[in-house]
């Protein structure tokens, strides 16, 4: 390596191996004269990692890091979000959103290790990911420069990117096509673009789905499963103790075969526009449902009600990339305190896209048969209800008396 090469400043690139990041490697070297260090963070992309090192080096990167963080992703990001009950706009289970903080954190870690002066990402200027990447970088290493080519360069389409590669003799395995824009990790697969950009059209699920079958193609017999939790954390599936990652992997297979967890949503992006996407989250949907069933059994009324309100804010924070913030950390501390008694087993029935509860048990159950039963027990006196109702309804009675005294009707 010559002196010029040794003295080059470094940039860490969030690298997927796709067309955009392939172009970005050459573009960074041409426009900034950087040494480009490519980093791919494995959060469960599967076969998308095949052949990545050769592709990165052939495109001009000096080296490629492949960081395997699937278990950390599940334990430190997915599980806390499940425990919070966070669902964005009532539908989206935050698959892409949850993954961006851990990806960004590893980019920062490697940038610091390598002495890089900048981090580059390939997120577009219209999407959520630019916000998620950059908020994490600012929170963890505010001195690092951030380069976002899609907000700078003249490339505006896939065709432009392929033309750039041809002009600069960059080898790419990709061809001009009309594929959906997808994001995959161990939690989900998202789909955007093409016909999905028309909300009035039904998605072509048979050609679209990657993890699942449609409910119509699911088995005609129901599938029963048992899920065990300890303090809100999944610990066993069908009586077999497993890691959270193993449970999620198994549930993805079971849920996918039963058509579970397919949603179609027009959501509000961080940057202000609406976008339409289809998400497959088979295992995650089952985990959310089971966890919620156990909370119904184990949490008191006030805690459950407040946690429902909090979960909306938690979802907004995760969706907007605000993971490394005092508020998110504070909400997680609250959630963890609520989970001390969320221990037990939930039985579920899966059938053609539907999930039904088939029973739940917990040593910390707040359900008391002697109170809830129609048969009068020692802990509940029916006569006590009269005084309670009189006091509970007193404001209504006072208001009605006031209106009557003024000749007004309710």
- Would you say 18 is a known binding-site residue? yes
For residue 92, say whether it is annotated as part of any ligand binding site.
yes
Supply the residues annotated as catalytic.
20, 100, 129, 181
376 is an annotated ligand-binding site residue: no
Query: Is residue 128 annotated as involved in ligand binding?
Result: yes
Task: Provide CB contacts within 8 A for 194, sequence distance 6+.
Answer: 178, 180
Query: Is residue 50 part of an annotated ligand binding site?
Result: no
Q: Is 245 labelled as part of a ligand binding site?
A: no
CA–CA separation, 87 and 207 (whole Å)? 27
Sheet of 10-14, strand order: 63-68, 35-42, 10-14, 118-120, 145-147
The contacts of residue 371 (CB under 8 Å, 6+ apart) are 377, 379, 380
Residue 148 among known ligand-binding residues = no
Host H or E run for residue 351? strand 344-351
CA–CA separation, 41 and 14 (whole Å): 8
Does the annotation list 345 as a binding residue? Answer: no
CB contact at 8 A, 157 and 176:
no
What residues have CB less than 8 Å from 126, skipping those under 6 apart?
A: 269, 271, 273
β-pairing, 223-230 vs 10-14, is unpaired
Q: Determine whether the annotation assigns residue 20 to a binding site.
A: yes
Residue 166 counted as an annotated binding residue: no
Instruction: Give the integer Cα–Cα distance in Å for 244 and 235.
Output: 7
Residue pair 279/188 in contact by the 8 Å Cβ criterion: yes
| Cα end-to-end span (Å), the chain | 87
* Tokens, residue 122: 């390939």
234, 287 Cβ separation under 8 angstroms: yes
Helix (H, G, I), strand (E, B) or coil at 143: coil
Q: Does the annotation place 122 within a ligand binding site?
A: yes
* The CA-based dihedral angle spanning residues 315, 271, 100, 228, taken in that order and rounded to the nearest 10 degrees: 20
Residue 181 annotated as lining a ligand binding site:
yes
Q: Is 179 annotated as a binding residue?
A: no
Strands 189-192 and 274-280 turn out to be antiparallel
123 is in an annotated binding site: no
Place of tokens 């955007």: 192
Residue 267 is assigned to a ligand binding site: yes
Establish whether 296 is an annotated binding residue.
no
Tell me phi and psi for residue 349, to 5 degrees.
-115, 120
The Cα 233–Cα 40 span in angstroms is 28
Q: Is 190 labelled as part of a ligand binding site?
A: yes
33 in a labelled binding site? no
Annotated binding-site members for L-citrulline: 92, 97, 128, 132, 181, 190, 267, 279
Binding site: residue ranges? 14-22, 92, 97, 122, 124, 128-129, 132, 181, 190, 267, 279
From the annotation, which residues make up the binding site for L-aspartate?
124, 128-129
- Residues annotated in a binding site for ATP: 14-22, 122
């Amino acid at each position: 390596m010559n002196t010029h090469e040794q003295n080059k400043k470094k940039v860490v690139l969030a690298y997927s191996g796709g067309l955009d990041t392939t172009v970005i490697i050459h573009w960074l070297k041409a426009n900034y004269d950087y040494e480009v260090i490519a980093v791919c963070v494995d959060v469960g992309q599967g076969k998308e990692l095949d052949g990545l090192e050769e592709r990165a080096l052939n495109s001009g990167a000096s080296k490629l890091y492949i960081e395997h963080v699937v278990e950390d992703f599940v334990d430190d990001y997915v599980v806390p979000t499940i425990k919070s009950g966070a669902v964005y706009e009532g539908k989206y289970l935050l698959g892409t959103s949850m993954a961006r903080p851990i990806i960004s954190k590893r980019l920062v870690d490697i940038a610091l290790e390598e002495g890089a002066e900048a981090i580059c990402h390939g997120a577009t200027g219209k999407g959520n990911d630019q916000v998620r990447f950059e908020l994490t970088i600012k929170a963890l290493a505010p001195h690092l420069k951030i380069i976002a080519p899609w907000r700078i360069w003249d490339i505006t389409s896939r065709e432009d990117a392929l033309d750039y590669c041809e002009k600069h003799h960059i080898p790419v395995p990709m061809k001009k096509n009309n594929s959906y824009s997808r994001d995959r990790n161990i939690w989900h697969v998202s789909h955007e673009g093409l016909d999905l950009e028309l909300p009035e059209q039904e998605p072509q699920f048979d050609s679209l789905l990657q993890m699942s079958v449609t409910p119509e193609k699911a088995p005609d017999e129901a599938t029963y499963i048992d899920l065990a939790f300890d303090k809100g954390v999944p610990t066993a599936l069908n009586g077999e103790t497993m890691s959270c990652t193993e449970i999620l992997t198994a549930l993805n297979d079971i849920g996918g075969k039963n058509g579970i967890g397919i949603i179609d949503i027009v959501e509000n992006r961080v940057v202000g526009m609406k976008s339409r996407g289809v998400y497959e989250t088979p295992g995650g949907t089952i985990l959310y449902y089971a966890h919620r069933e156990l909370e119904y059994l184990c949490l008191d009324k006030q805690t459950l009600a407040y946690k429902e309100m909090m979960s909306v804010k938690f979802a907004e924070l995760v969706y907007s990339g605000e993971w490394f913030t005092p508020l998110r950390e504070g909400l997680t501390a609250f959630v963890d305190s609520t989970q001390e008694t969320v221990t037990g087993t939930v039985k579920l029935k899966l059938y053609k896209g539907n999930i039904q509860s088939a029973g739940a048990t917990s040593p910390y159950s707040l359900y008391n048969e002697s109170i809830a039963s129609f048969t009068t027990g020692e802990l509940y006196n029916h006569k006590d209800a009269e005084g309670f109702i009189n006091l509970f309804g007193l404001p209504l009675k006072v208001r009605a008396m006031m209106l009557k005294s003024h000749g007004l009707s309710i």
